[in-house]
């Protein structure tokens, strides 16, 4: 999208279900697991470029040998950096031991990253500095194999303070008050308790070291997750590995964050997106399953797996932004949904251009809006087909008019392309705006000056600053009569608190437009009223019950807010007329029927913590605090 926003994060898990030697013999390489994980991560690199991490567990190596390996990186290309380091480690170890490259036992006893359980993570940081310590996987170590825990996740919790206090009440001393630490330590605490429960059950029956194996065989990870996650409020897909090789992926009860898996006799694979699994393992889409909300896919020490409910599912509200923007459009379902989003905008576009297709050029802001653009074009073609049919059936056309109608095609041009090589290092604000406007290149001499309309579709309009400072100025140089910016997503009115970096009210151009409308309508007192309600709710501990901020939008129609957005983003010196069209929420639900998470558009949050966050975010805005509300 033209207004870049960040998203947290991407996960990957591979469990090799056969002995390590099996893959060396069948595939002729000791790098089978490494190569598959690399593919899974590279095919999800769109989900996180701030950092990456990889961890590996060896199952049943003798005592005295390292069985957990981990690398993390915040390099400019973190995935490549990690796997280059792993490969370098292999090359160095095998330089004088080439004959050992096909000996699984030697490899596992002498080389890191030769285990059967693999975890990968891609980070887009919505909180915390871009430092190695903030990269997943996180590791909780212990000298008992069954008490070791490695975790990574795609999650944000809205109740971090409560989770922190809970850890303190349990007797812990957390090193930081962030959701990564609180989640890790909470699950780790109950993993310890589960160890103790099983130990107490069998300690009089078995002697050490046999007791260690008995504990690992009898641990109930479903119980651990139930006890750990029952007071989580947020969206999450969390991947975990224990030191003895059991693993899990747990998904929140509303299914906000995505998780998919594939399994056969050789592997169990988990990823945030289906195309990554399909590419890495060459399987059909119908073989890839969605982890059910409120369920965990649990893989035991022996590679057996199943889904288990660990928390009661609620109404499924999976994130619609995954469908609009974040996930790759190579997923056939997402591809069709994005095309439908474009097609459903046709009535609004035709009305805005007064049905003047002859003098209208259609384009898109690269590159992620391309699929919705295809749907838009398809919708125009369908409209034209209906017009041709009507004209022929009415029989009122002269031959030359019929020829013109039958041969007419919508005017489609690539007007905007991003120069990925250009970087804006100028720090002076006046010069920086000028430089930013040249990050995009334009195609000249295809627009008839003062005659043509230009319709440009984008995935979403969040802040509107890129439109104002570069896109509109750039398009205006082409000399159009009117510029219509079309968003395939509805108006973003409320903050996200489940993983997307959209947490501050002042950043939303739809919110700023609403404030102006309130002022122009003499309804400014409504801001004070909502502020007072939010403050009272926060002070009384009832902020999670109602989203009071909704009331700000109630006096105005979808169209009124869209028109005001158009006024806000139009630079003062722009010659062309400007209009902004947003997708409607109703059409969003038509296009993405199975993914109804729409809280950033409607304010209807799937968890109580969402209401608390939006009320706090509005208080922060009024009080001029530039911090996120969770």
- Residue 7 pLDDT grade (very low, low, confident, very high; cuts 50, 70, 90): low
Q: What is the pLDDT of residue 539?
A: 97
- Residue 433 pLDDT grade (very low, low, confident, very high; cuts 50, 70, 90): low
Closest by alpha carbon to 197, among 172, 171, 223, 173? 223
Number of alpha carbons in the 13 Å side-chain half-sphere of residue 626: 1
Q: Is the pTM of this model over 0.85?
A: yes
* pLDDT, tens digit, 9 for 90 and up, residues 587-628: 999 999 999 999 999 999 999 999 999 999 999 999 999 888
- Residue 444 pLDDT grade (very low, low, confident, very high; cuts 50, 70, 90): low
231 has a pLDDT exceeding 60: yes
Mean pLDDT of 12-29: 97
| High-pLDDT (> 90) share of the chain, % | 75
Tell whether omega for the bond before 9 is within 30 degrees of 0, i.e. cis: yes
Which class is domain 326-623? alpha beta
* pLDDT, tens digit, 9 for 90 and up, residues 375-397: 999 999 999 999 888 888 887 66
Task: Tell me if 37 sits within 8 A of 54, measured CB to CB.
Answer: yes
Mean pLDDT of 97-105: 94
- Residue 176 pLDDT grade (very low, low, confident, very high; cuts 50, 70, 90): low
429 has a pLDDT exceeding 70: no
Residue 489: phi and psi, rounded to 5, are -110, 155
Which of the following CATH numbers is that of domain 10-153+240-316: 2.10.109.10, 2.60.34.10, 3.30.70.260, 3.60.20.10? 3.60.20.10
Mean pLDDT of 566-572: 96
Mean pLDDT of 212-234: 96
Mean pLDDT of 440-455: 84
- Give the integer Cα–Cα distance in Å for 426 and 518: 37
* pLDDT, tens digit, 9 for 90 and up, residues 299-354: 999 999 999 999 999 999 999 999 998 898 899 999 999 999 999 999 999 999 99
List the chain domain ranges. 10-153+240-316, 326-623
Q: What is the pLDDT of residue 485?
A: 97
Number of alpha carbons in the 13 Å side-chain half-sphere of residue 203: 6
- List beta partners, residue 249: 239, 297
Mean pLDDT of 108-125: 93
Higher pLDDT: 212 or 177? It is 212
CA distances, 542 to each of 159, 393, 494, 548, 615 (Å): 14, 63, 19, 11, 10
């Amino acid at each position: 999208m033209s207004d870049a926003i960040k998203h947290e994060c991407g996960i990957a898990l591979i469990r090799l279900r056969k002995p390590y030697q099996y893959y060396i013999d069948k595939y002729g390489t000791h790098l089978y697991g490494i190569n598959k994980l690399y593919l899974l991560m590279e095919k999800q690199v769109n989900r996180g470029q701030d950092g990456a991490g990889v961890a590996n567990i060896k199952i049943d190596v003798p005592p005295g040998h390292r069985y957990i390996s981990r690398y993390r990186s915040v390099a400019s290309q973190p995935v490549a950096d990690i796997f280059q380091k792993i490969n370098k480690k292999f090359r160095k170890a095998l330089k004088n031991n080439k004959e050992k490259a096909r000996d699984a036992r030697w490899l596992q006893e002498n080389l890191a990253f030769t285990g059967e359980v693999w975890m990968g993570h891609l980070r887009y940081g919505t909180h915390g500095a871009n430092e190695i310590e903030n990269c997943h996987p996180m590791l909780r170590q212990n000298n008992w194999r069954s008490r070791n825990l490695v975790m990574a996740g795609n999650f944000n919790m809205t109740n971090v303070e409560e989770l922190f206090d809970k850890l303190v009440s349990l007797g812990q001393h957390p090193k930081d008050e962030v959701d990564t630490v609180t989640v890790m330590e909470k699950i780790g605490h109950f993993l310890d308790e589960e160890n103790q429960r099983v130990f107490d059950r069998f300690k009089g029956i078995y002697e050490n070291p046999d007791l260690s194996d008995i504990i690992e065989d009898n641990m109930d990870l479903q119980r651990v997750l139930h006890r750990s996650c029952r007071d989580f409020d947020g969206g999450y897909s969390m991947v975990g590995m224990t030191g003895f090789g059991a693993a899990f992926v747990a998904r929140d009860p509303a299914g906000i964050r995505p998780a998919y898996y594939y399994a056969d006799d050789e592997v169990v694979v988990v990823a945030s997106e289906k195309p990554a699994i399909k590419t890495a393992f060459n399987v059909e889409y119908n073989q890839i399953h969605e982890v059910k909300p409120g369920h965990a896919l649990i893989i035991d020490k022996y590679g057996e797996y199943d889904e288990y409910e660990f928390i009661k599912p609620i109404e499924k509200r999976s994130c619609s932004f995954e469908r609009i923007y974040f996930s790759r459009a190579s997923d056939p379902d997402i591809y069709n949904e994005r095309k439908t989003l474009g097609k459903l905008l046709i009535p609004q576009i035709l009305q805005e251009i007064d049905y003047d297709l002859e003098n209208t050029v259609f384009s898109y802001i690269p590159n992620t809006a391309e699929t919705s653009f295809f749907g838009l074009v398809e919708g125009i073609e369908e409209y034209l087909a209906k017009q041709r049919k009507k004209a022929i059936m009415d029989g009122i056309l002269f031959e030359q008019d019929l020829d013109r109608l039958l041969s007419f095609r919508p005017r489609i041009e690539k007007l905007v392309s991003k120069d990925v090589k250009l970087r804006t290092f100028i720090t002076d604000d006046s010069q920086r705006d000028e430089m930013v406007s040249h990050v995009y290149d334009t195609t000249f001499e295809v627009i008839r000056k003062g005659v043509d309309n230009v319709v440009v579709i984008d995935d979403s309009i969040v802040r509107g600053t890129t439109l104002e400072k570069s896109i509109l100025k750039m398009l205006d140089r082409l000399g159009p009569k009117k510029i219509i910016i079309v968003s395939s997503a509805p108006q973003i009115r409320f903050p996200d608190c489940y993983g997307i970096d959209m947490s501050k009210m002042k950043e939303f151009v739809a919110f700023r437009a609403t404030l102006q409308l309130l002022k122009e309508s003499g309804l400014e007192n409504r801001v004070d009223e909502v502020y007072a309600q939010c403050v009272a709710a926060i002070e009384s501990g009832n902020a999670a019950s109602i989203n009071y901020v909704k009331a700000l939008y109630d006096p105005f129609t979808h169209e009124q807010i869209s028109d005001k957005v158009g006024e806000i983003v139009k630079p003062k010196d722009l010659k062309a007329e400007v209009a902004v069209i947003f997708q409607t929420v109703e059409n969003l639900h038509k296009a993405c029927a199975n993914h109804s998470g729409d809280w950033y558009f409607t304010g209807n949050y799937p968890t109580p913590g969402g209401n608390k966050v939006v009320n706090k975010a509005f208080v922060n805005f009024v009080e001029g605090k530039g911090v996120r509300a969770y």
